[in-house]
A and B are shown apart, each in its own frame.
Chain A
Amino acid sequence: MPMKALTGNEAMAEAMRQINPDVVAAYPITPATEVVQLFASFVADGLVDTEFVAVESEHSAMSACIGASAAGGRVITSTSSQGLALMHEVLYIAAALRLPIVICEVNRSLSAPINIHCDHSDTMGSRESGWMHIFAEESQEAYDSIIQAMKIAEHVYLPMMVSTDGFIISHCMQRIDMLRDKEVKDFIGKYKPHHSLLLTDKPYTVGPLDLQDYYFEHKRQQIETMMNAAPVIKKVGREFGEKFGRYYGLFEEYKMRDADNVVIAAGSAAGTAKAAVEEAREKGMKAGLLRIRVMRPFPHKEIANALKDKKIISVLDRSDSMSTMGGPIFVEMKSALYDIKNHLPMCNYIYGLGGREIDVEDIIRVFKRGEVYKEKGIEKKIDFVGLRE
């Protein structure tokens, strides 16, 4: 397999090149600019057969993607932060029309105050749009996940975004074990759209008015599709592993077997947390990490099963839900664990907003506090890591 030193953005652009989509409609935005810029150069150099549509906004980018996908094309775009926010209303349309578009997303905080650095508030803001969503921990996973996302999306007919942490992953170089072009082509296979506007002998109407008498049924159908998506994500992750040696599931368990003091994290902080698990174990703590990979659909049953015997759960959130109930992962985790028999003590740490660093020592402190909470009960349900008081 060809090894290359690539940044997260370069890795995602390379995955796009190998997928060779029919249409890419995109608008550049920091820190995802390079994905679009590199892909535009692939088009200019004739390395892909893609129709590249340079649009005037992200709202138009996603709208053009929807048109191209409804026409039966294989479609990818890339964005970040305000760009994803500007796409917001059209994201719901892509999902409800069951168009398997893929977004190479780079996580960046939302304004205000304006900030170009990483947190997860952008994709968390889209978590009810009906898109499937993978948080990649690092560039290799981002590359692998874009390829899987294309296949998953086209199998279940739902759009999917794969996100990396802005700058931390998007701009840092890593050794990437790339697949050969043909391997990618064979893995994703030929796309069979459920409808195509270009097949004039089979005319259909896309996006018609749908009032009290049908909207509910169409939404129920969409809910069912999302319910059936998790097994497909698992199957494609396993198939990828069998072919190329790197296996992916809905979430990752790190040193979880005998752990009782568990941290939950998504994105690049999970890598930091793995180092913290090692150090915490050297200090005698039974530390473990459960990394959320698939955020949508949320693998609630599997996560509840993986955590049921643990003693303390600390959820790291790189955004807040502004619900006064903590970050979005914490809120989801509470829902996921409500139905299990024994009550699991769980607390929340908001960290890293606007790109604020989190390091190994920060997470070791979380584990240490977990040891105290295990014995004496949780003192602070929701706390902040790396914040000046």
Chain B
Amino acid sequence: MKEGWKDLPIGCTIEKGGTSRDFKTGDWRSERPEFLKDKCNNCLLCFIYCPDDAILMKDDKVVGIDYDYCKGCGICEKVCTAKAIETKPER
């Protein structure tokens, strides 16, 4: 639950760091990248190019996409060397 107007700090300020985590930009997305695990060769270009840090990693391997933050820009699909990311319209 987000704060009401009486609970917000004075002057539109943010009093701590790292608050971009609370700003879920995934709902801006009109197209959705889908990760095809079997095709991935773990070159990690998608991880490097993703402007929103939305490529999920585990043990140095790509495991999926963080849809809370992915804006659906499609860069990951463009740079993928193994056709392991497919963009589909968001329903």
Contacts and interface: CB of A to CB of B under 8 A. Distances in A.
A157 interface: yes
A99 B3 contact: no
A276 interface: no
Nearest to B7: A217
B13 A220 contact: no
B89 interface: no
Contact of A217 (B8, B11, B19): B8
Contact of B11 (A97, A202, A203, A214): A97
Contacts of A204: 13-16
A157 B11 CA distance: 9
Interface in B1-53: 2-6, 8, 10-17, 19
Contacts of A220: 5
Given A98-B10, A157-B10, A221 B15 contact: no
Contact of A99 (B4, B11, B16): B11
A213 B13 CA distance: 15
Contact of A203 (B2, B8, B12, B17): B17
B14 A98 contact: no
Contacts of A208: 12, 14
A202 B9 CA distance: 14
Nearest to B12: A218
Contact of B2 (A206, A213, A224): A213
Contact of A206 (B6, B8, B13): B13
Interface residues of B, number: 15
A203 B17 CA distance: 8
Contacts of A98: 10-12
A217 B1 CA distance: 14
Interface in B37-83: none
B4 A217 contact: yes
B2 to A, nearest CB: 6
Nearest to B22: A213
Given A217-B3, A217-B4, A217-B5, A194 B11 contact: yes
Contact of A210 (B3, B6, B12, B17): B12
A216 B5 CA distance: 8
B27 to A, nearest CB: 11
Contacts of B10: 98, 157, 194-195, 221
Contacts of B12: 96-98, 206-208, 210, 214, 218
A205 interface: yes
Listed residue (A157, A206, A216, A221) with the most chain B CB atoms within 10 angstroms of its CB: A221
A205 B8 contact: no
A218 B10 CA distance: 8
Interface string A183-205: 00000000000110000001111
Contacts of A214: 2, 8, 12
Contacts of B19: 205
A212 B13 CA distance: 16
A195 B8 contact: no
A216 B8 CA distance: 11
Nearest 4 CB-CB pairings of A with B: A98-B11, A217-B5, A205-B14, A220-B5
21 contacts: A97-B13, A157-B11, A194-B10, A195-B10, A195-B13, A195-B15, A202-B15, A204-B13, A204-B14, A206-B11, A206-B13, A207-B12, A208-B12, A210-B12, A214-B8, A218-B5, A220-B5, A221-B5, A221-B6, A221-B10, A224-B5
Given A157-B10, A208-B14, 20 more contacts: A97-B11, A97-B12, A98-B12, A99-B11, A157-B11, A194-B10, A194-B11, A195-B11, A203-B16, A203-B17, A204-B16, A205-B14, A206-B13, A208-B12, A210-B12, A217-B4, A217-B5, A217-B8, A218-B12, A224-B5
Interface of A: 96-99, 157, 194-195, 202-208, 210, 213-214, 216-218, 220-221, 224
Interface of B: 2-6, 8, 10-17, 19
